Each structure stands twice: as C-alpha cells, then as structure tokens.
Amino acid sequence: MRFSPVLLAVFTVSATLGLSNPAKAQAPNSADIEAENSNHLGLAGQPRSAEAEGRGQTVAPAPVQPEWFSSEFLAQAIEPVPDAAQQPLPPARPTEPPQPLDLPSEIDPATPPPGTQTPLEGSPDRIQFDTAPEPSTPQIEFNLPEPTTPPEAQPVPDDGVLDEPPPLPDGTVAPPAQPTQPTQPGATQAEEPRVLVSEVAVEAVEGELSDELLNIVYNAAQTQPGRTTTRSQLQEDINAIFATGFFSNVQAVPEDTPLGVRVAFIVQVNPVLQDVQLEGSQVETLQYQGEETSVPQVVDSIFADQYGTTLNLRDLQVGIEQLNQVYQENGFVLAQVIDVPQVSPDGTVTLVVAEGVIEDIQVRFLNREGQPTNEDGTPVQGQTREFIVTREFESQSGDVFNQQQIQGDLQRVFGLGIFEDVRVSLNPGTDPRQVDVVVNVIERNTGSVAAGVGFSSASGLFGTVSFQEQNLGGNNQRLAAEVQVGERELLFDLSFTDPWIATDPYRTSYTVNAFNRRSISLIFDGGENEVELENGDRPRVNRLGGGVSFSRPLDEWLGLEGWRASAGLQFQRVTVTDADGEVTPRDELGNLLSFNEDGRDNLLLLQLAAVQDRRNSTLTPTSGSVLRFSTEQSLPIDGIIFNRLRASYSYYIPVDFTNFTEGAETLAFNVQAGTILGDLPPYEAFALGGTDSVRGYDSGDLGSGRSFALATVEYRFPIFSIVGGALFADFGTDLGTAEDVPGSPAEVRGKPGSGFGVGLGVRVQSPLGQIRIDYGVNDQGDGRLHFGVGERF
C-alpha cells in the first residue's frame, strides 16, 4: 500500500497537538466533513457518531483545496465485476464518458492503446472474408467477398445525439439504459466532484501478488495518494489495469479514513499459462518454418515462450495473430480464431477456430456480358452439365477452403477448353462459419463445320468437309471428323474422346480413332538432289488404320504430382505409292522405300507416354516446365520389330528486359532427342527442318536419321494488345545416323544433316487461337517464312 507523505506528517502533528491540548480542538471532524459532502450532493445529512465527536484536530495540507466527499460517493460507481474465472473473459470495449449517476455494476474495460489490444477485442463469431489474389492463368479470376470488420464504437455527432446504439458482440447483455438529465441552453456541465486520496493499496482476490505485478498495477493507475480523484478517474484506472493483460477481474474499493479516502484495487490474476488448445480445427498439418508440421505442434511453437508465465491477454493476442498468419500462408485464407478464448483455472486456454469449411459447390452460368440472367430476367442456362465442372474440383463439400487448391481446380476447369472464362465467388453458408463456393463460367462456342475445295501435290484436286464438337451432349466429349474426296481416293480421319470415363475415380480418359491418310513423305522429299520414282512421280505414303488409347493422371493413383501417363494400341497398313495409287516399293535409284519388298508393311504398335506438366498455362506459358517421354514398340505381326524412343524438356523463365508495353516477357528453352532401335522402315526415320524443327530450312530439308537432337531458345515479348513478338535460334542434327536409314534417303538427296537457323516472329491472338508467323535464316544464308498455330513448345 502507498500513503501520502504529506498527510502522514500532518497526522503526526495533529496527534501531538491533540494530546497536549485536547480541550482546544476546534477543527471540524470527519463527520462534519461527511455531512458537508452529503449536503453538497443534495443528500440528507447524517448524525455524527460519538466516535467522530471525540476525534482530534485534522490539518489539511495547504496546497490542496478540493471539495471533499466521502467514500460512499465513489462506492456508488465502483461495484464488483463478475468473476471472470467462472465465464469467458469479456472483450475489451470502449467506455462511455462517466455520467453523474450510478454506473452499472459491470465495469467495461477501456480500449488499450494501439498495439496492446487484448485477443478478446472485436473477436468475430463468424467467418470474415479476405480478398485473395487472382490466379496467374489468363481469363481466370478469383473473387472473394469484400472483407467485413468487427463493429466499432459509433462516433458521437456534433449534436451529441446517437442515432442508435452500437451493436454488441453476441452473447453480451446490454447494460441498463442511463437517463440523460436535461440541460438549459447555454448551461455548462458542473465539474465532477473530487475526493482526496490518502492511501492506494493493491490486493489479490487469492494469494499474494508478486512485486512485478504490484508495480504493474501501481504504474497503470493514475490515482495517487495525496492527490484528488473522481469516479471517472477510478474507472479509467480499472480499464488501464485490465488492459495490461495480466488480470481477469479488477475492482476499486474506496474506504473512508481520517485523512481522506483509501482506495484498494482488488485484482484477479490470470492463471499461469500451461497449454493452448484448438477447438473446431479440421486441418491436420501446416507448412511452418519450412517443414510439414501438425497443427498442435504449430500452436505449441507459437506460444512456447508464454508457457509457464502468468497469462497475458496482450501476448496471447500476438500469438493468435501469428497463428492466423500461418493459416493464411498455407492457403487457408478464411481460417481465423473466433470468439473469446476460454481460460480454465489450471491455465489451459482453448481457442475456437473457424477454418472456413466448404458447405456446397455450385455452378452458375453467365452470359457473354458476365451476367447470370438474360435480358428478360431468366437465369442463363448452360449446355454443359454441372457435374462436368464439379468433378474437376479436388475441393469437396466438408473440406476446408484452401485458395491454392481452389486455384488448381480452376485451372483444370479452364483447361477443359469449353469455357471462355472461369471465376469463383463465395457466399455465406447456412452456418456462418461455412461458405458456399460458386463457380461462375462463360461457355464458348465448341462446335464448328467447314467445307472447302483445294489442290495438293499429294492428292491433286480435292474437296473436304470437316466437323468438330468439343462438348458433345454437354459431357465435354469430343467428336472430330474430316472427309476428303479426291480424284483418286477417299481419305478420312475420325476420332472420339471422352476425357473422363464416367465412374472412374482416377480421371481416366480414352480416345478411339480411325484414319486413311496420304502424304508425300518428308523422308523422300527435298534436298539438293531430287530423287523420284521410275515414272518421274514423287513417292506417297498411305496409312490406313485405327487405334485406341487411354490416359490417366498419376498424382492420385501413384502419388506422382503433376504426372500423366497414356497407353495405346494402334494398327497401320502402310503402302508406298505413286500419284495414281500404284504401289512402288523402290525409287529410280533402286533404293527400297518400304521394309518389305512388296511395298506393303503392317505395323501393330504399343504406345506408352508420360508427361510432367508444371507450366502456369498450357496455351501461353511464362513460367514452369514440361517433361515428356514416349516409346513405341512394334509387335511382330509382319516381321517388323523396332522401338522408337523420344524425350523432350521445356523450361520457361519470366524476365523483364524491355518494358515497352504491359505483358509477360519470357525466355523459353527446349531440348529434345530420339532414336530408333531394331528394324527401321525408311518412312519411320526422324525428319529435320521446318516450322516445328529448325526454322530457315524447309520441312525435311535439313536431314533424316535413325537418331536426332534439337535445341531451341526463344525470347517472347508483348508488342501491343493481341500482338506479341519473338526472337529465336534453332539447332538440329541427325547425330551422323543418316546412313543408318535403309536406302540412305537423306544422303542420296544431299541433305546436310546438321544446321541452325535464327530469326524473328510475330504472335497474333485470334478467335481460332494463336497464329504464329516466323521468318528464319539458316546457316547457309537462305531465308524462309513459316506459319503455325499456337506456340511451338
């Protein structure tokens, strides 16, 4: 306890004078003072007690000239607050200005200074939505509702009248209404009565307080012995002591003494923190400090420094904010600690966390203007069946919302190729701690029909009709058909693809195709020396056949993230003919053009492939990589046994070289190689040169061999709007294997076998996709223009 040194000296002098000359005591005693105080308050005076009549003279210090009042006046305002140990700690809320009436029995703690708020302040009882960044994939937007903020104290207008009281947290009982005394126009509010403090003491509800806690209370309180105080000052002291975070209950108890009022602050100390537990958590592990860590271990790591010390609500708040941040960094952008912490007497704190559970996933179709309704107000009806969208989501009802996982879900939906735009929005669920995920999609035109007439060196005059539908029956099934009727033959190419077999849990797809194709083989064409058939015609390669293939992602099946594998079986009947369709197995030099002497080969091929795709976009990648492996093993139905091996790797690096216009700049690298083991029909050799090989050379003019290697580097940059540019350099080689091809078709035609090309190109975004126009110059000084659709890799 602390006494006023001035009053202590006065008390000593008074006692001495009273003993030496008791008959001359003329000063008013405490009862007189009490009566005077009561009269000042407008209360009835009380009779003096006999004890008061016999007291000695009291001398007041000269510097202090307050109006004195008894402790009963302060007691009207300071009443015990509920025991915090029996209920959740109340949140700290701003206090209203003190009124000249009795204060409510519950003392509202004051709002601590910025940075010292307790974890109870503004604790939400529902999910608060935070805006998340948009996905990197073009045309995919990731929208969340605007964030909500906890209710704040309503500002007081200039006229001093509030429209309506501010909302209170759920479960909080509003204090009784305080009537307002009318004031006369121009009248000023009377100064609040003050009392002289003779002593300030700090007491604990249970046990003894440590010196540290005593100093904390004394330093927080502005009420000091030897000074005057008011009801509002004591209220502020209670708030300040509570705001230190060490106490769950604070009371101020005034008591009359001969020298003034003794003020005792009765505090309930928080227990020693032993453990922090989470309630309502579904997430099992989090990435924390670079490691996969269980959620309880993350909590213990965050609060480890506080264990074994007196619970401080301010420090607890810091830990809660850190825990919320860890959730955010792991993609759980809706997760947050809600409600007030539950503190048990043994020092266990229970935090209630709402992680943002997905209640439902819904699909909403938008029109081209991005609206969910048509002009007549009817909802937009989509062609696509809703399960086609929702089955692409790894996120399911009952899962915790994770932004990173949702981003991957959106990329898969966009990758279906049947939507112009895909975005997600969130709606509150029936449970305010849950959310409904709404997938908003804009469908694109997926069907096309075309017809035309043309002329080619391989087929002569021909007519063609083609049909393509990428969303057959709204099931995302793809049907493509092309029929070409020429002067000499009927060519066709039919295919059907189901990207996800209905009930398969591993997302297996299949493709069935049938074809009759005819082309002038690049192996037997081009070069410095033209070699033809004996009749002066160029050799054609006809392929008649069909096959089936299956494809499946390996991440869920085998746990190989980003990998996809395929397997297929294909039959081809290959013949080498002239322009009239006559089989011609040898050229004019007598070199065999097929594997069999009769010019007819039957191939049954077992095809296997694996792809790991880590690109940020399949259409216009700017970062990431893609790795491909493939093999074809022929089965000896016609005595032909060989194995074709190929590998390719592409890597993309975002750069910032020019900054001419807005848009991504990218350095793109690609290397690929392949070889054939065993028997080698000449038409199966690798052809080098052309639009998708070494630019600057015509298709097949660089060479053909049993093996090959290619390398390309491109710098891709935006120019304006839908137009971009590229600088490139290509290199290719047959690795000296041209002579290993039966008949040495590359050597007899004078193809160099190795070379490079450099140049520049333009990329134009069109409704049909990206159109690529490149001009390349090869190492022999020849230039050539190349056209293509989409990026080369």
Q: Write out pLDDT tens, residues 231-244.
A: 999 999 999 999 99
- Examine the pLDDT at 181 and tell me if it is beyond 80: no
- Examine the pLDDT at 425 and tell me if it is beyond 60: yes
Over range 19-40, report the average pLDDT. Answer: 32
Does 582 lie in the same domain as 524?
A: yes
Q: Tell me the C-alpha distance between 313 and 534, whole Å.
A: 96
Does 731 lie in the same domain as 650?
A: yes
Confidence of residue 432 (pLDDT cuts 50, 70, 90): confident
Q: Which domain holds residue 635?
A: 500-789
Q: Residue 374 maps to which CATH number? A: 3.10.20.310
**Measured CA distances, 365 to 287, 391, 418, 420, 500 (Å):** 36, 16, 13, 11, 22
Q: What is the pLDDT of residues 495-541, one digit of tens each?
A: 999 999 987 888 899 999 999 999 888 999 888 888 899 998 889 99
Tell me if 322 sits within 8 A of 298, measured CB to CB: no
**pLDDT reported for residue 530:** 85
Q: Tell me the C-alpha distance between 682 and 523, whole Å.
A: 7
H-type alpha helices, 696-774: 745-748
Does 285 lie in the same domain as 238?
A: no
Give the type of residue at 35: A
Give the type of residue at 368: R
- List the Cα angle 426/428/431 in 5-degree steps: 140
* Average pLDDT over the chain, rounded to an integer: 80
Question: Picking from 18-22, 164-168, 503-507, 619-623, which range would have the lowest pLDDT averaged per residue?
Answer: 18-22
Q: How many CB atoms lie within 10 A of CB 777?
A: 16
Does 521 lie in the same domain as 427?
A: no
Paired strand residues for 631? 608, 645
Confidence of residue 766 (pLDDT cuts 50, 70, 90): confident
Q: What percent of the chain has pLDDT over 70?
A: 75
* DSSP annotation string for 269-303: EPPBP-EEEEES----EEEETTEEEEHHHHHHHHH
- Could you give the number of structural domains in the chain? 4
**pLDDT reported for residue 662:** 83
Does 709 lie in the same domain as 617?
A: yes
Residue 341: inside a domain:
yes
Residue 484: inside a domain:
no
3-class SS string, 544-577: EEEEEEEEEECHHHHCCCCEEEEEEEEEEEEEEE
Does 280 lie in the same domain as 255?
A: no
Question: Picking from 53-57, 338-342, 573-577, which range would have the lowest pLDDT averaged per residue?
Answer: 53-57
Confidence of residue 648 (pLDDT cuts 50, 70, 90): very high
Q: What is the pLDDT of residues 667-684, one digit of tens each?
A: 999 999 999 999 999 999
Residue 147: inside a domain:
no
**Final residue before a domain boundary, out of 201, 235, 269:** 269
Residue 546: inside a domain:
yes
Q: Tell me the C-alpha distance between 112 and 636, whole Å.
A: 85
**pLDDT reported for residue 129:** 44
Give the type of residue at 420: E
Residue 646: inside a domain:
yes
The backbone region for 521, taken as left when phi is positive above 0, alpha when psi lies in -120 to 50, beta otherwise, is beta
- Examine the pLDDT at 573 and tell me if it is beyond 60: yes
**pLDDT reported for residue 462:** 83
Which span out of 253-262, 376-385, 627-636 was modeled with the highest average pLDDT? Answer: 627-636
Confidence of residue 458 (pLDDT cuts 50, 70, 90): low
- List the Cα angle 622/627/630 in 5-degree steps: 140
- Examine the pLDDT at 158 and tell me if it is beyond 60: no
Residue with more model confidence, 676 or 185:
676
Does 392 lie in the same domain as 344?
A: no
Confidence of residue 59 (pLDDT cuts 50, 70, 90): very low
- Examine the pLDDT at 718 and tell me if it is beyond 70: yes
Question: Picking from 34-43, 60-69, 162-171, which range would have the lowest pLDDT averaged per residue?
Answer: 34-43
- Examine the pLDDT at 92 and tell me if it is beyond 70: no
Does 412 lie in the same domain as 302?
A: no
**Final residue before a domain boundary, out of 269, 298, 320:** 269
Residue 161: inside a domain:
no
Confidence of residue 556 (pLDDT cuts 50, 70, 90): confident
Residue with more model confidence, 556 or 229:
229
Paired strand residues for 717? 725
Q: What percent of the chain has pLDDT over 90?
A: 62
Over range 770-782, report the average pLDDT. Answer: 96
**Final residue before a domain boundary, out of 231, 248, 269:** 269
Residue 427: inside a domain:
yes
- Examine the pLDDT at 69 and tell me if it is beyond 50: no
Confidence of residue 659 (pLDDT cuts 50, 70, 90): confident
